Amino acid sequence: MQQVAINGYGTIGKRVADAVRQQPDMDMLGVAKTRPNFEAETAIDKGFPLYAAIEEREELFAEAGLEIAGPVEDLVAEADVVVDATPSGIGAQNKELYEEHDTPALYQGGEDAELTDVSFNARSNFENAVDADHVRVVSCNTTGLSRVIAPLREAYGVEKVRATLVRRGGDPGQSDRGPINDILPNPVTIPSHHGPDVETIFPDLDIDTLGMKVPATLMHMHSLNVTLEEEVDAADVRELFADESRLFLIPERLDIDGSGTLKEYALDAGRPRGDIWENCVWEESVSTVGRDLYLFQGIHQESDVVPENVDAIRAVTGSADAAESIETTNETLGIGL
Ligand code: NAD
């Protein structure tokens, strides 16, 4: 059993903790938090030992009636692997702590690629992370793009990818984010930083990306154009995608017209927190004109990286190969809408 620690119990951390608990080969050793809030209380309610991420703030937890198991150093020392899910840039500050205790660490997409030996997407490059000490699970958008690009490269070859990312302004709980009444080119410079991030997964890929931000919280939306190396029928691409376990091809009959109905569908289907771990590709949008493929996909930013973190744990601990890990993760979480 791999003993897993989570440092940073927010949007991503709490979802990874729940997913880890469902794995037959992993134990949730504990979670570290900086302050007592609703997430700290629910962590305790779920039975996760709670550690103080900042020692001087330990007494705040006691004042709030929350029992602390110890400082984050103890948690890191005991763990076989730590998942750092702290805000962008904090993971880099924590690297020294993980190195001191010789504990392999996963970081999230908000960290710079240079921080780690490997940037990770289970479908695309699981093997690169086997036995690595520092691995970055790429961002929600890069994960979403990689899952589509990997099978296309293998089946047809990819000459060039052009993607426009219409990004949610903030997560549902982020009341300080925006815009609330605007459509922003963001970043305004072209290409956006997302393309180079995808190249950390596929170093030889030719990709240009453009970013926008809109007043939405539920999901990102990608408009994708991939120039393939051969002419392909759209029906063949749909078949290719149907075989990919983390691509959900939205059938026309469901009458799902956007991220609102997608989230409603996930909630109706009993998904925890309404999470959608899969890319949501509108089947009817998958079209080809000569060698050009077009599609729309929705990406649930809060959850698509969760199964990737679980697989990355198996990669760094060398406890399963890609196919075994992906299958176990999919089965335990219930991936496949
Ligand atoms: P979040 O703010 O929801 O959660 C971060 C948690 O870490 C909070 O609970 C915060 O209190 C805690 N924290 C802050 N400083 C800490 C410290 N020094 N030690 C321990 N904990 C600390 O952030 P998030 O959205 O979960 O993002 C975490 C990482 O995941 C970032 O790198 C982000 O870019 C990446 N990511 C986020 C999303 C998303 O849409 N939310 C998607 C993919 C990847």
Angle at 60 (CA atoms; ends 59, 61), nearest 5 degrees:
85
Token pair 């290719």 is at which residue?
240
Closest CA to 39 of 67, 76, 14: 14
CA–centroid distance, residue 11 to ligand 1 (Å): 6
Q: Is 256 annotated as a binding residue?
A: no
Decide whether any atom of ligand 1 lies within 6 Å of the 142 Cβ.
no
CA–centroid distance, residue 93 to ligand 1 (Å): 13
pLDDT tens for each residue of 135-153: 999 999 999 999 999 999 9
Sequence ranges of the chain with CATH classification 3.40.50.720: 2-137+305-333
Decide whether any atom of ligand 1 lies within 6 Å of the 12 Cβ.
yes
- Report the run of H or E that residue 135 belongs to, with start and end: strand 134-137
Decide whether any atom of ligand 1 lies within 6 Å of the 306 Cβ.
no
CA–centroid distance, residue 88 to ligand 1 (Å): 7
Looking at residue 337, its pLDDT comes to 82
pLDDT bucket at 242, cuts 50 / 70 / 90: very high
Q: What is the mean pLDDT of residues 269-281?
A: 98
Q: Quick count: other Cβ atoms within 10 Å of Cβ 187?
A: 15
Looking at residue 115, its pLDDT comes to 98
pLDDT bucket at 56, cuts 50 / 70 / 90: confident
Looking at residue 55, its pLDDT comes to 86
Class of domain 2-137+305-333: alpha beta
Looking at residue 256, its pLDDT comes to 98
Question: What are the backbone dihedrals phi and psi of residue 157, each rounded to the nearest 5 degrees, phi first?
Answer: 80, 140
Token pair 């198996």 is at which residue?
314
What gap in Å lies between CA 86 and CA 32, rounded to an integer?
A: 10
Looking at residue 326, its pLDDT comes to 98
Atom of ligand 1 nearest to the CA of 90: 18
Sequence ranges of the chain with CATH classification 3.30.360.10: 140-299
Look up the CATH number of domain 140-299: 3.30.360.10
CA 157 to the chain's CA centroid: 25
pLDDT tens for each residue of 160-202: 999 999 999 999 999 999 999 999 999 999 999 999 999 999 9
Strands 207-214 and 184-185, sheet pairing: antiparallel
Confirm whether 280 is a catalytic residue: no
Question: Average per-residue pLDDT in the chain?
Answer: 97
Decide whether any atom of ligand 1 lies within 6 Å of the 287 Cβ.
no
Q: In this prediction, does ipTM exceed 0.85? A: yes
What gap in Å lies between CA 157 and CA 5, rounded to an integer?
A: 39
pLDDT tens for each residue of 70-119: 999 999 999 999 999 999 999 999 999 999 999 999 999 999 999 998 99
Q: What is the DSSP letter of 84?
A: E
